[in-house]
Every structure is written in structure tokens, then in C-alpha cells.
């Protein structure tokens, strides 16, 4: 059963996207809205879980190859390090410490959707690595990409860690990479992490941990709607559910209604009907191999020029440059 909104005037993008997602069939919500102050904390807990292998794999790559990565970043007039989705900076700090210690000429420009996360990162860097010249920017990737071309006085190093590109299906990922490519000069480079295809059980465990942290993270969407939109979701009436398709490499997260129910969202003037076992699709996390990454690069006008891997090839960081024709 499809619900329809009683009004089309919304005060925020969050309100508009919730109304659109929950009146669609099948229902969905955008994963970026998980990341309020509570969601940020939960994700930091997730990154520290033993089951969430991505963090340690990428951290290990950066620790093992710090000098080589830093050398690849450097330009003849220094460089601007622009990190999309900076988060708490745990992995980036390894590079920043090396860059400061070796007196590289660079500015660090972390971008994140969460101002709370950026404020914490800036404060941490003042104490831990005071030599870093930092300028934060709050916003989405796509808004930031519109401004990337303005940084054209010297080399740009665009960095995306954590396999954040995995939140995009291939078609959207190509659009994202094309936008980056258009903002890049011949000297510029993209340093990006891609989680690799592997044992499906290992992937499922990373997004459905026995401690319930990933469940709380996914359900934070419901908590946020209750708090900000005057909704009446009973959190216990929804199950966190994770699937992984090893053929496509797509891990998907859902919230599943365990019974038939009506949910009121007073601020939107909406009543949403759920059938028993009806789903809300909340997030994808795409997994890759070298062939897929090469294909994405080719479709986007980029070329892979180097790669770094952990010892078990669970995870890889690739360097991309504009393709020269």
C-alpha cells in the first residue's frame, strides 16, 4: 500500500527525502541521514569492531606504505589534500604526521556531512598534529565537487577512504567519478579505497555484528525521525536485516517491519502504512575486484596508475589520474 504526503512544502531536505522515500514503493531512506551526532558515535564504534575489517585493513595499508603514498601526493608547488568523508581522521592522521614531519608543503581540507565530526577532528589535530594547516568544509560529496575546480593554483590530491564509494551503485559511482575527473587537472590525482570481494560470511559479519552496534546504527534513522519529525516508530517493531549478493558484490541493509502497522509522522502530516515484513531499504555497500575498478575508471575518464593492498587482498587503495588520450 502506497501512502501519499498531504503537503509538498518542506522546511529541510531531510523532511523532503523522508516523505519521498517512505511514500515510494518499495520504501527507502537515504543512508546519509543516519549520521547525526548519535549516528556519528555509533559509526566510530563500528569502525573499532573486530568484525569490521575495513578499518584495520586500510589503516595497515597506509601504515605500511606511508612514505610511498606521501611521495605520490607531492607536487612541484606542494599540494592541497582534499578528503571527502573525513570522519574522525584515524587513518588520515598517519599520513598527516608523516607529511608534517617531512615538511611537505600542503593544506588539509577535510569534508564531511557532519559538522560535529569536523569540529572534533579540527580540535584533535590542534593537539595531536599542530603543524597541519586545516580548513574544514561541511557538506555532501556532490556539493563539494562543484567547488573542486576552484582549487587550481597547485596540485590537488582528492582522497576518499573507507570505501565510501561503495555507498553508490555503479551508475551513480561513475557519475561521481566523472565529476571528480572534470575537476582534475593533468597533475591532480585521486586516492580512493575500495573494499574487495571476499568470503561472503566475512562481509555479512561486518554489517550484522553480534554486539548489535550495526543494528543500532541502522535503526538510528527511526530514532532521528522520532526526534526531529515527531514520528511514532516503535524501534522494537523493526528488524535490522543485512544481505550480500556475491555475484553483484552488493551488501544491502534493510529495516523490516515485523507486523502490519501505521506510523504517524506528525511534522510531515503523514501516516505511513506498513504490511507485515515490509522493508525500508537504507544502505548499500558495494564490493569490488580489479576488473570492476578498471571498468569504473575507464567509464569515468580516469586511469589507475598505482595500487596498494593489504596482505590478504581484502582491501585496496588505488591511485587514479585523468586519462590522457
34: DSSP letter: G
pTM over 0.95: no
Q: Are residues 101 and 121 in the same domain?
A: yes
Return the closest-CA partner of residue 313 out of 205, 209, 204, 202: 202
222: closest CA among 243, 236, 201, 208?
Answer: 236
Sign of CA dihedral 20, 26, 32, 37: positive
**Whether residue 292 sits in one domain with residue 264:** no
CATH classification of the domain holding 145 = 3.40.50.150
> Do 142 and 251 belong to one domain?
no
Give the pLDDT score at 146: 73
Contact 257, 278 (CB under 8 A): yes
Give the DSSP H or E segment for 300: helix 290-300
> What does DSSP assign to residue 281?
E
Mean pLDDT over 63-70 rounds to 97
Give residue-wise pLDDT tens across range 95-112: 999 999 999 999 999 998
- Residue 299, domain extent: 65-196+288-322
pLDDT value at residue 153: 84
Please state, as a whole number, how many other Cβ atoms lie within 10 Å of the Cβ of residue 207.
Answer: 22
Is 3 within the bounds of a domain? no
- pLDDT at 176 > cutoff 90: yes
Query: To the nearest whole number, what is the mean pLDDT of the chain?
Result: 93
Of 67, 302, 297, the C-alpha closest to 186 is 302
Q: In the prediction, which pLDDT does 1 show?
A: 47
164/88 same-domain check? yes
Q: Which helix (H) or strand (E) holds 212?
A: none
For 182-205, write each residue's pLDDT tens digit. Answer: 989 999 999 999 999 999 999 999
pLDDT in tens, 126-175: 999 999 999 998 887 777 777 776 777 899 999 999 999 999 999 999 99
- Mean pLDDT for 44-58 is 92
CA 35 to chain CA centroid, Å, is: 10
Amino acid at each position: 500500500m502506497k501512502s501519499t504526503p498531504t503537503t509538498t512544502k518542506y522546511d529541510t531536505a531531510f523532511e523532503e527525502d523522508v516523505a519521498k522515500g517512505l511514500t515510494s514503493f518499495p520504501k527507502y531512506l537515504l543512508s546519509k541521514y543516519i549520521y547525526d551526532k548519535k549516528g556519528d558515535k555509533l559509526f566510530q564504534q563500528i569502525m573499532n569492531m573486530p568484525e569490521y575489517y575495513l578499518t584495520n585493513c586500510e589503516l595497515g595499508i597506509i601504515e605500511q606504505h606511508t612514505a610511498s603514498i606521501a611521495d605520490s601526493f607531492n607536487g612541484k608547488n606542494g599540494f592541497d589534500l582534499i578528503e571527502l568523508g573525513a570522519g574522525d581522521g584515524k587513518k588520515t592522521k598517519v599520513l598527516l604526521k608523516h607529511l608534517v614531519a617531512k615538511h611537505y608543503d600542503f593544506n588539509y581540507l577535510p569534508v564531511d556531512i557532519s559538522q560535529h565530526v569536523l569540529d572534533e577532528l579540527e580540535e584533535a589535530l590542534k593537539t595531536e598534529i599542530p603543524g597541519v594547516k586545516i580548513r574544514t568544509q561541511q557538506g555532501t560529496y556532490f556539493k563539494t565537487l562543484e567547488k573542486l575546480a576552484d582549487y587550481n593554483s597547485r596540485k590537488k590530491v582528492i582522497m576518499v577512504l573507507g570505501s565510501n564509494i561503495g555507498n553508490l551503485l555503479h551508475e551513480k559511482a561513475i557519475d561521481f567519478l566523472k565529476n571528480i575527473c572534470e575537476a582534475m587537472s593533468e597533475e591532480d590525482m585521486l586516492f580512493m579505497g575500495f573494499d574487495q570481494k571476499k568470503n561472503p560470511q566475512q562481509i555479512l559479519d561486518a554489517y550484522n555484528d553480534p554486539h548489535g552496534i550495526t543494528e543500532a546504527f541502522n535503526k538510528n534513522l527511526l530514532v532521528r525521525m522520532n526526534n526531529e519529525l515527531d514520528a511514532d516508530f516503535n524501534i522494537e517493531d523493526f528488524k535490522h536485516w543485512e544481505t550480500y549478493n556475491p555475484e553483484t558484490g552488493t551488501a544491502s541493509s534493510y529495516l523490516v517491519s515485523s507486523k502490519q502497522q501505521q506510523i504517524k509522522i506528525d511534522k510531515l502530516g503523514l501516516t505511513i502504512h506498513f504490511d507485515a515484513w515490509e522493508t525500508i531499504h537504507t544502505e548499500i555497500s558495494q564490493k569490488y575486484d580489479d576488473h570492476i575498478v578498471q571498468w569504473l575508471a575507464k567509464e569515468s575518464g580516469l586511469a589507475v596508475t598505482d595500487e596498494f593492498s593489504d596482505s590478504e587482498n581484502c582491501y585496496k587503495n588505488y591511485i587514479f589520474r585523468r586519462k590522457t588520450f
